[in-house]
Structures are given as C-alpha cells and as structure tokens.
C-alpha cells in the first residue's frame, strides 16, 4: 500500500530533501494540494491512491494520454476497484485525468491553450495575493520565504533538480496564498495548482530558467522586507508570467518535434 500522506505534514524542506527523498516529497505536495482544506490528519485509501497516481503524472512517469487501468492499479495497491474508481474521480476533478465514456480514463494531455489560460488566471490571482502579503508583511511567512528561497537558489544551481525546484516554488506560492486570510482566494489558487505544477516542471526544466526564477524570488523578497509593496507586486506577477511563457515555448517545441 502507498505510504499514508498527512495533510498536516509539516516536514521542513530540509527534512524532505535530505531524509525522505523526492518521491515522498512529491506525494506530500500532491496530498497537500488535493486535500488542503481537510481537517483530519490522515487520508482515506482512495485519497492516498489519488496522491500516489497524481505524483506519477506530475513527475512524468505516467505520460500524457497514458491509460489509467483500474484492474492494474487495484492489483498494485491490493484493493478492490471501488477505491480506484474514487481515486480516478478525484484526479479528474483536478484536471490530471480525463474520463471518456466507454473508453476509460487517461492522463490529461498538456496543451498550449490550457497553459495560457491557467497562467493568465494565476497571474491575476497572485497579484491579489502579493498585495495582501505586502500589506501584512507577516513575520512567520517571511521566515518561510527566506528558508524556501534559499532552497530554491540551491536547487537552481543543479544540472538536474529532479523537479524539486518547481515543487518547492509551488509550495511557497500556496503557503503565501493561505497566509492572506482569504479562504476563497486560497481555494481558487489551489484549484489550479496541480495543473500549474505540471506546466511549471516543464518551464523550469533548464538550469538557466531556474536561476532566472530564483533571482526574481530573491528580488521580490528583498522588496517585501524593505516595504516596497509596488515592486514586490510587480515581481510576483512577472515571475508567474515568465513561467507561463516558458511553458508555452517548451510545450510548442515538444509538439513541433512530434
């Protein structure tokens, strides 16, 4: 069975990176998104399975268009097909899986139109988040951002970060949204977050792109700490827009080679 994932898991980034490894980190991240509003600390069997399959999709081990075979998964997780069907419904809700009548479930394809739409919405929502963060200048969030950005800068230097940069950036963004004391805003952003994470991993695959992104994160933090709200908002939006544009370029390049 999949290792139980806790949505209240407060593993530090250092602990995740050094002790648990990339796969567990991603499972925690996926669980963190899928069930962010959950009060109980542990997930049901179906939710654990959904987090595990979602990890494989985001990591690229299940490629776009790949079939999701209920019986194979039931055998793997040693459960009946009922929990598998529920896990598939969860992933369909998140946009990671597409279910076609009489054909079954498949990993949702990545498209240029979708990435443009998602990042346009995300840029607008994060502009609201950044304004609220700049106004609040919450000391606890600042501690998280300092530690997280230091981790991003370390990951940006690696030739192959195994997707950890995108996942760390994702979590910092969601924690920022959740610090704003606006539950509707946080839910709207988290509703896009797993689809965003698939595209972000694509856009941040190169070291040059990660280094540019980390530079913007650092500049934004500096602006926030000195109380320059306008500059912080500008940089937060620029980071999202550049990530979206890079994902479009990368996806277009891939499609042109097929």
Bridging pattern class, strands 97-100 and 67-68:
unpaired
Q: What is the DSSP letter of 227?
A: T
**What does the pLDDT read at residue 7?**
38
Residue in the block written with tokens 């920022």 = 176
Q: What mean pLDDT is predicted for residues 28-54?
A: 69
Name which of 38-52, 146-160, 178-192 the model is least confident about: 38-52
Q: Hey, which CATH number is domain 13-107, 3.30.390.50, 3.40.50.1000, 1.10.10.10, 3.40.50.2000?
A: 1.10.10.10
Do the domains 112-257 and 13-107 match in fold? no
Cβ 162 vs Cβ 22: under 8 Å: yes
What H or E segment, with its residue span, contains residue 134?
helix 112-136
Could you state, in order of their start, the residue ranges of all structural domains in the chain? 13-107, 112-257
**What does the pLDDT read at residue 30?**
58
**What does the pLDDT read at residue 169?**
94
Higher pLDDT, 2 or 152: 152
Q: What mean pLDDT is predicted for residues 232-236?
A: 97
112-257 CATH: 1.20.120.530
Separation CA 230–CA 223 (nearest Å):
9
Separation CA 36–CA 5 (nearest Å):
12
Separation CA 123–CA 125 (nearest Å):
6
Q: How do residues 48-75 score in pLDDT, each as one tens digit?
A: 899 899 989 988 899 999 999 999 999 9
């Amino acid at each position: 069975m999949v290792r139980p994932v806790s949505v209240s898991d407060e593993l530090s980034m250092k602990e995740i990176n050094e002790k648990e490894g990339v796969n567990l980190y991603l499972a925690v991240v996926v669980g963190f998104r899928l069930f962010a509003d959950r009060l109980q600390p542990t997930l049901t069997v179906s939710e654990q399975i959904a987090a595990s399959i979602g990890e494989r999709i985001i990591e690229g081990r299940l490629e776009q268009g790949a079939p999701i075979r209920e019986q194979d998964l039931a055998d793997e997780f040693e459960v009946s097909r009922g929990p598998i069907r529920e896990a598939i419904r969860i992933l369909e809700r998140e946009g990671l899986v597409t279910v076609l009548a009489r054909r079954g479930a498949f990993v949702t394809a990545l498209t240029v139109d979708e990435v443009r739409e998602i990042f346009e919405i995300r840029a607008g929502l994060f502009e609201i988040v950044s304004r609220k963060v700049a106004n609040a200048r919450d000391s606890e969030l600042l501690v998280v951002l300092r530690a997280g950005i230091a981790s991003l800068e370390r990951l940006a230097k690696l030739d192959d970060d195994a997707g950890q940069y995108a996942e760390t950036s994702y979590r910092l963004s969601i924690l920022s949204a959740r610090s704003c004391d606006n539950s509707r805003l946080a839910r709207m952003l988290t509703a896009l977050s797993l689809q965003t994470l698939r595209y972000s991993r694509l856009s941040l695959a190169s070291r040059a792109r990660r280094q540019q992104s980390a530079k913007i994160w650092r500049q934004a933090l500096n602006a926030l700490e000195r109380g320059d709200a306008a500059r912080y908002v500008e940089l937060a939006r620029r980071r999202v827009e550049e990530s979206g544009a890079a994902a479009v370029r990368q996806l277009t390049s891939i499609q042109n080679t097929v």
